[in-house]
Amino acid sequence: LVGAPACGDVMKLQVEVDENGKIVDARFKTFGCGSAIASSSLATEWVKGKTVDEALKIKNTDIAKELCLPPVKLHCSMLAEDAIKAALADYKLKQDPNKEESEKKA
Amino acid sequence: FCPGCRALQPPGPRPDLFRLMDCDRSFRIDAQQLQRRFRSLQRAVHPDRFGQRPLKEQCYSEQHSSLINKAYQTLLNPLSRGLYLLELNGVEPAQETDSADPVFLTEIMEINEKLAEPENEDILEEIETLIKVKQEELTKEVTAAFERDDLQEAKKLLAKMKYFANLEDKLKNKKIPS
């Protein structure tokens, strides 16, 4: 769960990671402008099927380029990148090697 | 106005909005006094009164009038007033992603969710009251922070106010019959 203080947008990204460290499902909920919603939607699509380490490589610039975000909305893609990182950091923190599947939120 | 010929002059560069509205550079303001000053300034410079004047003065009148509107709106609203004060003190408003206070963000998320899909009319009233109470609380805290010159704390609180200001706008839009 992340927020952008400059514009007051909030973004929630949830990931489901299997025992192999692969992201099998992801969900988002964003309250904010269209660019913020689009950025989190794209981030959700992109992390699916990736490993945790691969997902951590996703950069806000990739998101912004794919969506052709105007300069004034670049911070939305940054928020999405931060949401991915926060979700995965949370997963790593709670990681229990005995569990087969863990559902982590950010 | 030019003291000699009484012609309207252009506004100065980078005006201090507090000085323009004759207010102390502080977070506490007298809203009545602000409004009086706003009206008296507009009486003097509004374009309606410059219809017969040379084009240059008409142009300056528009500039002054716009600037006064901007100053009034900025100082009237606690959030914009606070952010402007930070700016004057060389403190940048919060820019980086907020992930430090999950309890607060969760609360904002929940209010947003309820607002997006309200179960009934009463929920909207509840939310409206909640937002108002929170904004009043935050305004008090921001006032205290500025008074003890704690600009970093003011910055954090103003960031929280932004989330509630957005909620307030969304609520207003909900109430307008579509």
Kindly state whether B108 is in contact with chain A, defined as any CB-CB distance less than 8 angstroms: yes
Distance from C-alpha of A102 to C-alpha of A93, rounded to nearest angstrom: 11
Residues A82, B97: C-beta atoms closer than 8 Å: yes
A82 domain residue, yes or no:
yes
Given the residues A37, A55, A76, A80, the one annotated as active site: A76
Kindly state whether A50 is in contact with chain B, defined as any CB-CB distance less than 8 angstroms: no
Q: Which two tokens stand for residue A66?
A: 């794919």
- The pTM of the full predicted model, rounded to 2 decimals, is 0.85
Identify the pLDDT of residue B176. Answer: 76
Domain residues for B41? 17-76
Kindly state whether B154 is in contact with chain A, defined as any CB-CB distance less than 8 angstroms: no
Distance from C-alpha of A29 to C-alpha of A34, rounded to nearest angstrom: 12
Three-class SS of residue A19?
Answer: coil
Of A39, A14, A43, nearest to A27 by C-alpha is A14
| A76 is a catalytic site residue | yes
CA atoms within 13 A on the CB side of B45: 23
| A68 is a catalytic site residue | no
Name the amino acid, one letter, at B173: N
Given the residues A1, A4, A7, A10, the one annotated as active site: A7
pLDDT band at B174 (very low <50, low <70, confident <90, very high): confident
Element (H, E) at B152: helix B151-175
Q: Name, of A89-98, B11-20, B48-57, B148-157, the range with top average pLDDT.
A: B148-157
For residue A5, give Cα distances in angstroms to A74, B92, B94, B158.
14, 12, 6, 9
Output phi, psi for B3, to 5 deg: -65, -30
Structural domain count, chain B? 2
pLDDT band at A102 (very low <50, low <70, confident <90, very high): very low
**CATH code, domain with B24:** 1.10.287.110
Output phi, psi for A103, to 5 deg: -110, 115
Residues B102, A78: C-beta atoms closer than 8 Å: no
Domain boundary among B25, B46, B76: B76
B91 domain residue, yes or no:
no
End-to-end CA distance of chain B: 47
Q: Which two tokens stand for residue B42?
A: 């507009």
B81 domain residue, yes or no:
no
Of A1, A5, A8, the CB nearest to B102: A1
Identify the pLDDT of residue B120. Answer: 83
pLDDT band at A11 (very low <50, low <70, confident <90, very high): very high
B129 pLDDT higher than 90:
yes
Give mean pLDDT, residues A80-91: 92
B72-127 residue pLDDT tens: 999 999 999 999 999 999 998 888 887 778 899 999 999 999 998 888 878 888 99
Distance from C-alpha of A99 to C-alpha of A35, rounded to nearest angstrom: 36
Kindly state whether A5 is in contact with chain B, defined as any CB-CB distance less than 8 angstroms: yes
Identify the pLDDT of residue B86. Answer: 94
Q: Which two tokens stand for residue B33?
A: 């006094």
* B107/B145 same-domain check: yes
B3 domain residue, yes or no:
no
CA atoms within 13 A on the CB side of A28: 25
A70 domain residue, yes or no:
yes
